[in-house]
Amino acid sequence: MNTISRIACGGAVAALAVLAGCEGRPSLFPNSDPALNKTSTQFAADAARRFPYPADAPHPGNADGRASIDHMFAQLQILNSDNTDWSNIDIWVNKTYVCHIPRIPKGKEKVETLNYGMFYDEKGRSFDTNGGENPMKQVEVYRDGKVFNIPLVLAD
Protein backbone atom coordinates (compact mmCIF):
# COMPACT_ATOMS: atom_id res chain seq x y z
CA MET A 1 0.00 0.00 0.00
CA ASN A 2 1.52 3.34 -0.99
CA THR A 3 1.68 6.42 1.24
CA ILE A 4 -1.27 8.19 -0.41
CA SER A 5 -3.48 5.13 0.04
CA ARG A 6 -2.50 4.87 3.72
CA ILE A 7 -3.29 8.55 4.30
CA ALA A 8 -6.66 8.24 2.55
CA CYS A 9 -7.49 5.07 4.48
CA GLY A 10 -6.44 6.66 7.78
CA GLY A 11 -8.58 9.73 7.04
CA ALA A 12 -11.60 7.57 6.31
CA VAL A 13 -11.13 5.65 9.54
CA ALA A 14 -10.82 8.92 11.50
CA ALA A 15 -14.00 10.30 9.89
CA LEU A 16 -15.92 7.14 10.76
CA ALA A 17 -14.67 7.32 14.35
CA VAL A 18 -15.92 10.89 14.67
CA LEU A 19 -19.32 9.96 13.25
CA ALA A 20 -19.60 6.91 15.48
CA GLY A 21 -18.87 9.11 18.49
CA CYS A 22 -21.89 11.31 17.78
CA GLU A 23 -24.29 8.44 17.12
CA GLY A 24 -27.56 9.12 18.89
CA ARG A 25 -26.66 12.76 19.46
CA PRO A 26 -28.70 15.72 18.17
CA SER A 27 -25.59 17.38 16.71
CA LEU A 28 -22.11 16.55 15.50
CA PHE A 29 -20.42 18.61 18.20
CA PRO A 30 -21.23 18.49 21.94
CA ASN A 31 -23.20 21.38 23.41
CA SER A 32 -21.11 23.90 25.38
CA ASP A 33 -23.57 23.47 28.28
CA PRO A 34 -22.74 20.13 29.97
CA ALA A 35 -26.35 19.84 31.20
CA LEU A 36 -27.45 19.65 27.55
CA ASN A 37 -25.08 16.88 26.46
CA LYS A 38 -27.76 14.22 26.13
CA THR A 39 -28.64 11.65 23.53
CA SER A 40 -31.55 12.16 21.18
CA THR A 41 -33.42 9.44 23.09
CA GLN A 42 -32.95 11.34 26.35
CA PHE A 43 -34.20 14.60 24.80
CA ALA A 44 -37.25 12.81 23.36
CA ALA A 45 -38.09 11.13 26.69
CA ASP A 46 -37.70 14.41 28.58
CA ALA A 47 -39.91 16.23 26.07
CA ALA A 48 -42.64 13.57 26.39
CA ARG A 49 -42.96 14.44 30.10
CA ARG A 50 -43.58 18.12 29.29
CA PHE A 51 -46.74 17.69 27.22
CA PRO A 52 -49.29 19.06 26.70
CA TYR A 53 -48.32 22.61 25.78
CA PRO A 54 -49.31 24.89 28.71
CA ALA A 55 -52.07 26.75 26.83
CA ASP A 56 -53.94 27.55 30.07
CA ALA A 57 -50.94 29.25 31.69
CA PRO A 58 -50.87 33.06 31.75
CA HIS A 59 -49.25 34.61 28.65
CA PRO A 60 -48.02 38.02 29.90
CA GLY A 61 -46.22 39.02 26.68
CA ASN A 62 -42.59 39.15 25.60
CA ALA A 63 -39.68 37.86 27.65
CA ASP A 64 -36.72 40.14 28.04
CA GLY A 65 -34.56 38.24 25.60
CA ARG A 66 -34.11 37.18 22.00
CA ALA A 67 -34.22 34.00 19.94
CA SER A 68 -32.04 33.87 16.85
CA ILE A 69 -32.62 31.25 14.14
CA ASP A 70 -29.67 29.89 12.18
CA HIS A 71 -31.10 27.64 9.46
CA MET A 72 -27.68 26.86 7.99
CA PHE A 73 -26.53 25.13 11.19
CA ALA A 74 -30.08 24.13 12.30
CA GLN A 75 -29.68 26.02 15.57
CA LEU A 76 -31.69 28.30 17.79
CA GLN A 77 -29.73 30.69 20.01
CA ILE A 78 -31.48 32.10 23.08
CA LEU A 79 -30.28 35.23 24.85
CA ASN A 80 -31.63 36.16 28.30
CA SER A 81 -31.50 39.97 28.64
CA ASP A 82 -33.38 39.89 31.95
CA ASN A 83 -31.73 40.80 35.28
CA THR A 84 -32.47 37.31 36.69
CA ASP A 85 -31.45 33.83 35.57
CA TRP A 86 -34.07 31.72 33.83
CA SER A 87 -34.03 28.43 35.71
CA ASN A 88 -35.87 25.16 35.13
CA ILE A 89 -37.46 26.35 31.89
CA ASP A 90 -39.06 24.81 28.84
CA ILE A 91 -38.45 26.32 25.41
CA TRP A 92 -41.40 25.73 23.08
CA VAL A 93 -41.22 26.02 19.28
CA ASN A 94 -44.49 26.56 17.40
CA LYS A 95 -46.39 25.33 20.51
CA THR A 96 -45.51 21.80 19.33
CA TYR A 97 -41.83 21.05 20.08
CA VAL A 98 -40.19 21.41 23.48
CA CYS A 99 -36.75 21.26 25.07
CA HIS A 100 -36.08 21.60 28.80
CA ILE A 101 -33.19 23.86 29.80
CA PRO A 102 -31.86 23.82 33.38
CA ARG A 103 -30.64 27.44 33.26
CA ILE A 104 -29.97 30.38 30.97
CA PRO A 105 -27.88 33.00 32.80
CA LYS A 106 -29.10 36.57 33.22
CA GLY A 107 -28.06 39.79 31.59
CA LYS A 108 -26.53 38.57 28.35
CA GLU A 109 -23.87 36.51 30.17
CA LYS A 110 -24.20 33.62 27.73
CA VAL A 111 -26.11 32.73 24.59
CA GLU A 112 -27.63 29.24 24.88
CA THR A 113 -27.29 27.33 21.60
CA LEU A 114 -29.89 24.65 20.94
CA ASN A 115 -29.84 22.37 17.93
CA TYR A 116 -33.15 21.66 16.19
CA GLY A 117 -32.60 17.98 17.06
CA MET A 118 -33.00 18.81 20.77
CA PHE A 119 -36.69 19.74 20.31
CA TYR A 120 -39.30 16.98 20.24
CA ASP A 121 -43.06 16.79 19.82
CA GLU A 122 -45.39 14.56 21.81
CA LYS A 123 -44.98 11.74 19.26
CA GLY A 124 -41.18 11.67 19.65
CA ARG A 125 -40.36 13.45 16.37
CA SER A 126 -37.60 16.03 16.42
CA PHE A 127 -38.06 19.49 14.94
CA ASP A 128 -37.19 19.85 11.28
CA THR A 129 -38.01 22.74 8.98
CA ASN A 130 -38.73 20.14 6.28
CA GLY A 131 -37.16 22.25 3.56
CA GLY A 132 -39.10 25.35 4.63
CA GLU A 133 -42.50 23.66 4.87
CA ASN A 134 -42.36 23.74 8.69
CA PRO A 135 -40.84 27.14 9.51
CA MET A 136 -39.97 28.17 13.04
CA LYS A 137 -42.66 30.80 13.60
CA GLN A 138 -42.78 31.18 17.35
CA VAL A 139 -40.43 30.56 20.28
CA GLU A 140 -41.69 30.73 23.85
CA VAL A 141 -40.26 30.15 27.30
CA TYR A 142 -42.35 28.51 30.01
CA ARG A 143 -41.04 29.67 33.36
CA ASP A 144 -42.51 30.37 36.76
CA GLY A 145 -45.91 29.06 35.60
CA LYS A 146 -46.14 31.56 32.72
CA VAL A 147 -45.52 31.41 28.97
CA PHE A 148 -43.50 34.30 27.56
CA ASN A 149 -42.96 34.96 23.87
CA ILE A 150 -39.29 35.32 22.92
CA PRO A 151 -38.83 37.80 20.05
CA LEU A 152 -37.50 35.93 17.04
CA VAL A 153 -34.84 37.12 14.58
CA LEU A 154 -32.81 35.50 11.82
CA ALA A 155 -29.11 34.98 12.54
CA ASP A 156 -26.64 37.38 10.94
Q: Is 99 left (phi over 0), alpha (psi -120 to 50) or beta?
A: beta
The reported pLDDT for the residue numbered 17 is 34
3 state SS of 42: helix
pTM for the full model?
A: 0.80
1 falls within a domain: no
Residue 42's φ and ψ, nearest 5 degrees, are -65, -40
**C-alpha span between 123 and 47 (Å, rounded):** 10
Task: Give me the domain span that covers residue 42.
Answer: 25-154
Number of domains into which the chain is organized: 1
Q: Is residue 8 part of a domain?
A: no
Residues of the chain with pLDDT under 50: 3-23
Domain contains 59: yes
In a domain, 125, yes or no: yes
pLDDT given at position 35? 74
pLDDT digits (tens, 9 = 90+) for 55-81: 999 999 999 999 999 988 999 999 999
Q: Where are the alpha helices (DSSP H) in 40-98?
A: 40-48
pLDDT at site 155: 72
* Strand stretches in 48-132, DSSP E: 61-62, 65-70, 75-80, 86-93, 97-104, 111-115
Q: What is the pLDDT of residue 37?
A: 82
20 within domain boundaries: no
Q: How confident is the model at residue 15, as a pLDDT?
A: 37
Q: Is 80 inside any structural domain?
A: yes
In a domain, 13, yes or no: no
Asked if residue 57 is part of any domain, the answer here is yes
